[in-house]
Amino acid sequence: ICGSDVHLWRGEMERMGKLPPTVLGHEATGVVVRIGPGADVDSAGAPLHEGDRIVWAYYVPCGHCPVCLRGQPNACLLSLATVHRPCEQPPHFVGGFGEYYLIRAEQARFRAPAELSDAELAGANCALSQVLFGFQRVGLRLGESVVIQGAGGLGLYATAVARELGASPIVAIDASAARLALARQLGADLTISLAEMPDPRARTSEVMRATAGWGADVVVEVAGVPDPYPEGIRMLARGGRYLALGSIVPGRTFAADPSLFIGPNRSLFGVSLYPPATLQQALAFLVPGRDRYPLSRIAERTFALPDIDAAFAAAARGASGEDGWTRIGIRP
């Protein structure tokens, strides 16, 4: 269950337009049960057979609008519009929270390495690919410092990816002691507890101490709310980049001082979705990464599909910091 699913479940996304009756669930993996004509290879040309486990990009860019033609399919307006489709119309199987899902011919899909478990694969096509592409967009370089605001699913993947890319130091901030403990296992050099250090000025000072007084080269917002933005901006080094990934609910705002960007030459990057090739890179990260990081723990709690209401309630508690869960898995 992605955080965006929780927002939709709560009715927080209606300012973007009311959804038709649909099936939620996009962060998923599955086993091929039928192959249509011409669909017997994946997007990398590898043969597909019934029984293969695969992952897929859950959206389809149009391919001919100005942003698609500029090589930014993730920014295509149609990409978002294709995520949630009406389930009363064919092909009906339009979401991951079901026993079946129909992958359209235009969707990127890749055969999954056999050694990866469902728990390791489940976040590949959303959370993991999203942070991979986010770090590519901000140009994270070897030895740069990273602050991660939020240690939910996105934040924990961001921690492991930042470590794999050679970032140092890596600072994770969250209210949950359990999440921060997992962040340390995934590569965080320093964790800051919102519960133990409630003053934003104290947290900023802690980041400054960790970065020899310079501030962070990259700050990543994956908290899902805009409240951390002013604090994160002040944590940035001169020339630093602020990567906004989590706060997707329309109408939620924060107060900003433009001079904090202009004078110090800081940048703000908003990133949603990713080019399909990023999903293949996510699989390339997971295979060696499974031996270095406890990635399966990010989605270690699962519910059966008939218990999905209880699963969403648990996911909502986790999203609000009431318990230490990160991602909740649904097993049909």
254-275: b (≥16 Cβ within 10 Å) or e: eeeeeeebeeeebebeebebbb
Q: Is it the case that residue 320 has pLDDT exceeding 60?
A: no
> pLDDT tens-digit profile of 256-278?
999 999 999 999 999 999 999 99
pLDDT of residue 321: 56
Query: For residues 221 and 80, which has the higher predicted lDDT (pLDDT)?
Result: 221
Reported confidence tier of residue 327, pLDDT bands at 50, 70, 90: confident
The CATH code belonging to domain 133-270 is: 3.40.50.720
Q: Could you tell me how far CA 289 lies from the centroid of its own chain?
A: 17
Provide CATH 3.40.50.720 ranges for the chain. Answer: 133-270
Which residue type does 128 have?
L
List the alpha helices (DSSP H) in 124-276.
129-138, 153-164, 177-185, 200-210, 229-235, 259-262
> pLDDT tens-digit profile of 44-85?
999 999 999 999 999 999 999 999 999 999 999 888 788 888
Q: Is it the case that residue 280 has pLDDT exceeding 70?
A: yes
Q: Could you tell me how far CA 283 lies from the centroid of its own chain?
A: 14
CA 167/CA 133 separation, integer angstroms: 15
Q: Is it the case that residue 152 has pLDDT exceeding 70?
A: yes
* Cβ neighbours around 22 below 10 Å, total: 15
Provide CATH 3.90.180.10 ranges for the chain. Answer: 3-125+274-331
CA 248/CA 276 separation, integer angstroms: 21
Query: For residues 10 and 142, which has the higher predicted lDDT (pLDDT)?
Result: 142
Q: Which long-range contacts (CB under 8 A, 24 or more apart) does 46-53 make?
A: 46/110, 46/111, 48/109, 48/111, 52/111, 52/112, 53/29, 53/111, 53/112, 53/114, 53/118, 53/121
pTM of the model as a whole:
0.94
Greatest alpha-carbon span in the chain: 60
List the alpha helices (DSSP H) in the chain.
3-10, 66-69, 77-81, 118-121, 129-138, 153-164, 177-185, 200-210, 229-235, 259-262, 277-292, 308-319
- For domain 3-125+274-331, the CATH class is alpha beta
> pLDDT tens-digit profile of 154-173?
999 999 999 999 999 999 99
